[in-house]
Structure 1
């Protein structure tokens, strides 16, 4: 699954109801085409696919004149899918395709504040723990890789990966600390959090 699915659900949720152009404009304003690889065509495809899956429903706006006047809103199943993807992308690390993992994490961070504070902290702890396991695996390869028959220079790949994992673990632990200190308006805090539906 791509980050586009979560981002589209999140934007529709945030607006209560949104038409395709509005979703596209919002995501391009956030530069999601760069940090999440969201292409304009994939936005419209996601809207149609998730409508067929009953995660979104069409609602007519502005007298229902023309296709651009059709808006979408989340169904109950769509809200569930949004929450499941948000939790999954925030907590899980280790996709073999590192770019997809980064895109999904970026999408989840966009809607981080749609979660209650303790839930967000718990999910981030899961990610950090997984990444600490990856860090240990990298260290093991660096210590013993050449004795397993790997060419010596391949250790540079593991050093690079280890540096990236180390940075991500540090960032996750730092974010957890900031959330514990009350940073950001979360879903269970007084006030309206980013990504919260206007209803």
Structure 2
């Protein structure tokens, strides 16, 4: 799953209509190039690809202030659906793939676009997935002597177990913060971060 795709949909949704430079500039202010690997070329590519897929529709084209022609886009109904599906998937799927980590960071940045209960439910699913991964890791560590691998390879599993433990603790704390009313979520205010037209 592409973090850039989710972020582009989220920013266009937030602005109502946006052109590529606006999306790029907004994501730059979030430092999304660092935590989601959202690079300028991939942002423009995502806009064109999602327009071709019918997730975005061009609203207006015209010359840029000091550069090439700019096309302004808005989300279609399918784009809104895809945004919700990608956001939910990024919040719940657990994987060792670095692309999954980028997608999770993108989803975390867009978390306030969800109603509070939905965010809590999706994060709870993630915690369950993380606990299952931690259990599998523990079982693997218990049988490490039977692998026929060099014994120090078990250190990778100890590292992963520790990381999973820390991530579970952090996610559980985030759920607690959300349940106690911290952060303005989509059902708290129409001006919540990332809400349609909030930019």
Q: Which residues of structure 2 form unaligned runs of 5+? A: none
Q: Which moved more, 1:145-154 or 1:167-176?
A: 145-154
How many correspondences in the alignment? 195
Shift of 1:35: 0.7
Distance 1:14 1:46 in 2: 16
Superposed CA deviations along residues 134-163 of structure 1, whole A, max 9, x for unmatched, are: 111111111111123232100111111111
Runs of 4+ in 1 over 4 A off after TM superposition: none
Segment of structure 1 superposing worse, 28-37 or 120-129: 28-37
Higher helix share: 1
**Structure 1 residue 120: Cα displacement:** 0.5
Cα distance in 2 for residues equivalent to 1:70 and 1:59: 7
Using the TM superposition, name which of 148-157 and 119-128 deviates more. Answer: 148-157
TM-score (norm 1): 0.93
Distance 2:55 2:74 in 1: 9
Give the whole-Å Cα distance in 1 for the aligned partners of 2:126 and 2:101: 12
* CA displacement 1:164-189 (0-9 Å, x = unmatched): 11111111100000000011111111
**Structure 1 stretches of 5 or more lacking a match?**
none
2:59 maps to 1:46 = no
1:26 alignment partner in structure 2? 26
Q: Which residue of the partner structure matches residue 58 of structure 1?
A: 58
For the residues of structure 2 that align with 1:190 and 1:74, how far apart are their CA atoms? 21
Give the TM-score taking structure 2 as reference length.
0.93
2:80 is the counterpart of 1:79: yes
